[in-house]
Structure 1
Amino acid sequence: MKITREFYERDAVTVARDLLGLTLVHKTMEGITKGIIVETEAYMGTIDAAAHSYKSNPSGRTNVQYGEGGHAYIYLIYGMYYCMNIVTNQVEVPEVVLLRALEPVEGIELMKKRRNTEKILNLCSGPGKLCAAMGIDKENYGMDLCQNQLYLEQEAGYKQSEMIASKRINIDYAGEAKDYLWRFTIKDNKYVSVKVK
């Protein structure tokens, strides 16, 4: 069952928790890839010093964050790795959720080819890795996740696992915001990017 707009139109922390266990789907000319979301981070916009939209205006790369929830916010880090975020909340409330890790479930051979590795545990265990494995790049910026190319779905009969809240990764520059417990992982899942301390 595809996730609908209403799911995304809530605050980023709530959505980040509820994303765990949902499946990210990307349909491309090469094939279909799917992965269960096992790690997320919430970025709460104007009240969060770690967010790209903190003290920013709706222009440039953050522009999509000021639109309706349920769109893809893609950006480049280190000049070489793409990261996928999901825009949440309402228009003019620039909040997002970063997808940090997936558990690969479909199109695994295609993921291995894209990542040039045979190690399944390493395919999607980080935001840059998962974008490479899933074939997600700048062409997906602003994409509506309620359409049929890049979207989320809930598998029938999936049982929600125990969730752990912890500090976000690599945001030491963000003052007190670095200590907010806005990273969410599925407990004991072996596909997370960094083990929770």
Structure 2
Amino acid sequence: MRLERGFFARETVQVAKELLGKVLVREVDDQILKGKIVETEAYVGPIDKASHAYGFKKTARVEPLYGKPGISYVFSIYGMYVCFNIITFKEGSPEGVLIRALEPIEGIDSMSINRFKKEYEELDKKKIKELTNGPSKLCIAMNITKKEHNFIDLITSSELYVEDGEAVDNMDIVETTRIGIDYAEEARYFPWRFYIKENEFVSKK
């Protein structure tokens, strides 16, 4: 069952935690790709120096962050990769959740070709683990692009959305600091990264 807007229209840190175990779905070229969300990060723009919209900063780039809960925000990094986020809380407050890692569960052969230009059966253990264990890696594997998927509504989209999945017990969730935000002063210490304990597709433990 597809998640509705009400799921995302809640406190951002809680949504980031509860997205664990949910399933990101990508429909492309008559194929369905699915990955279980195993790692997330919360970003709360009004108070978060790690956010692109800290202090309600407004630019064309961050416009999606001010949209309705359930809107996508896909941004570029290093000029060649992208990261996928889902807007949360309420329209007008720039908050969202970065999807950091997935566990592939359907359409894995297509993910492998997208990511490595190889059939899944050709991958060694290291490559299998690296298929979707990072925010840009999962975008390549799922064929998520900034041009096609920034600022779309995941509640109504026919090509990218989130389905309900298995519940993850609180005892199996690790809460820790986010990655790659050393510039963010005190915000670098916020415990707003969540991942499923012992899952091999988590980007960093």
TM category (shorter chain) comes to: over 0.9
Report what 2:72 is aligned to.
72
Q: Shift of the alpha carbon at 1:61?
A: 1.1
Q: Shift of the alpha carbon at 1:30?
A: 6.0
User: 2:60 is matched by which residue type in structure 1?
Assistant: G
Describe the SS at the equivalent of 1:61: coil
- Of 32-41 and 142-151, deviating more is 142-151
Q: Is the 8 A contact 1:66 1:91 kept in 2?
A: yes
Q: Shift of the alpha carbon at 1:57?
A: 3.5
Where do 5+ consecutive residues of structure 2 fail to align?
none
Q: Is the 8 A contact 2:56 2:94 kept in 1?
A: no
Residues 67-115 of structure 1 show CA distances to partners (whole Å, capped at 9, x for unaligned) of 1100110001011111000000111111010000000000100001011
Say whether residues 1:145 and 2:154 are aligned partners: yes
User: 2:108 is matched by which residue type in structure 1?
Assistant: I
TM-score between both structures, scaled by the size of structure 2: 0.91
Rounded to whole Å, the distance in 1 between the matches of 2:167 and 2:95 is 27
Correspondence 1:179-194 to 2 at 5 A:
179-194=189-204
Report what 1:124 is aligned to.
132
Correspondence 1:40-189 to 2 at 5 A:
40-116=40-116, 118=123, 119-138=127-146, 139-147=148-156, 148-155=158-165, 158-161=166-169, 162-189=172-199
Residues 126-152 of structure 1 show CA distances to partners (whole Å, capped at 9, x for unaligned) of 000000000001110011111221100
* Greater than 4 Å deviation, 4+ residue runs: none
Where do 5+ consecutive residues of structure 1 fail to align?
none
Rounded to whole Å, the distance in 1 between the matches of 2:80 and 2:11 is 30
Describe the SS at the equivalent of 2:62: helix
Rounded to whole Å, the distance in 1 between the matches of 2:128 and 2:163 is 22
Q: Shift of the alpha carbon at 1:55?
A: 3.2
Q: Is the 8 A contact 1:11 1:95 kept in 2?
A: no
TM-score between both structures, scaled by the size of structure 1: 0.94
Q: Shift of the alpha carbon at 1:56?
A: 4.5
Rounded to whole Å, the distance in 2 between the matches of 1:72 and 1:181 is 23
Q: Is the 8 A contact 1:72 1:142 kept in 2?
A: yes
Residues 5-25 of structure 1 show CA distances to partners (whole Å, capped at 9, x for unaligned) of 000101210110000000000
- Of 116-125 and 167-176, deviating more is 116-125
